[in-house]
Structure 1
């Protein structure tokens, strides 16, 4: 039987932490937290990003997290809390589950993603091309 994306996301949501945009906003200035934007760079150029967010494209995320990968980024070995987001929170749910499976902790994602952040009237940082 075929598994749909909705089923994959629903399964991921059962085992991961999801936080609200308000909770994410409260973490924005926390030095122990890294907000991670996993959207495509074209989405950042078009829509902006959460201020101070680290851009880690979804296609490279696992490689950047894995300390044995030649593409590893030290920030992911910092012991900080990682808060992921995408546009609507589907990709970030799957990515959060994957990073948990890789042993990265603590990691969570923002319910509703960037669109919920923007729709809540929270600050958006422009990204220059």
Structure 2
């Protein structure tokens, strides 16, 4: 029987580290992690993003991570912790799982950007 999205999310959750919205600002402020927004550019324009976060569209992530890809982004090859986030945490959990399989140290922001904003953390406009 094929896996559904709930199966994929459960598998990812069991394999990755999640960062709670309450703990995320300390990682962010200390510079201990690179926050990576994987949402669609329209979402960033409409809702803003975490200040200082990098943008890596979900559809390009594997290509940007792989050093053999013509689309590789050197900042994704740094020896850093990458905290992926999307709107609710679903896409970022799947992205973190893939990125981890590709050799990155990574985590997913629990509840995504929605939880970040709900916790009252700062939001920057895409610029």
TM range (shorter): over 0.9
RMSD: 1.0
Q: Please report the TM-score for the alignment, with normalisation by the length of structure 1.
A: 0.94
Give structure 1 regions of 4+ aligned residues with deviation exceeding 4 angstroms: none
Using the size of structure 2 for normalisation, the TM-score is 0.95
Q: Which residue of 1 aligns with 2:111?
A: 112
- The count of residues paired between Structure 1 and Structure 2 equals 127
Shift in Å, 1:8: 0.5
Q: How does 1:64-79 map to 2 (within 5 A)?
A: 64-79=64-79
Greater shift in the superposed pair: 27-36 or 65-74: 27-36
The answer for the alignment partner of 1:54 in structure 2 is 54
State how far apart, in whole Å, the 2-side matches of 1:58 and 1:83 are: 13
Question: How far does residue 21 in structure 1 lie from its aligned partner after superposition?
Answer: 1.0
Q: Indicate the SS of the match to 1:70.
A: coil
Post-superposition Cα deviations, 1:16-72, rounded to whole Å, max 9, x if no partner, equal: 000101211111123342100000000001100001100000001111111111111
Structure 2 gap segments, 5+ residues each:
none
| Unpaired stretches in structure 1, ≥5 consecutive residues | none
Which SS does the other structure have where 1:28 is aligned? Answer: helix
SS of equivalent to 2:30? coil
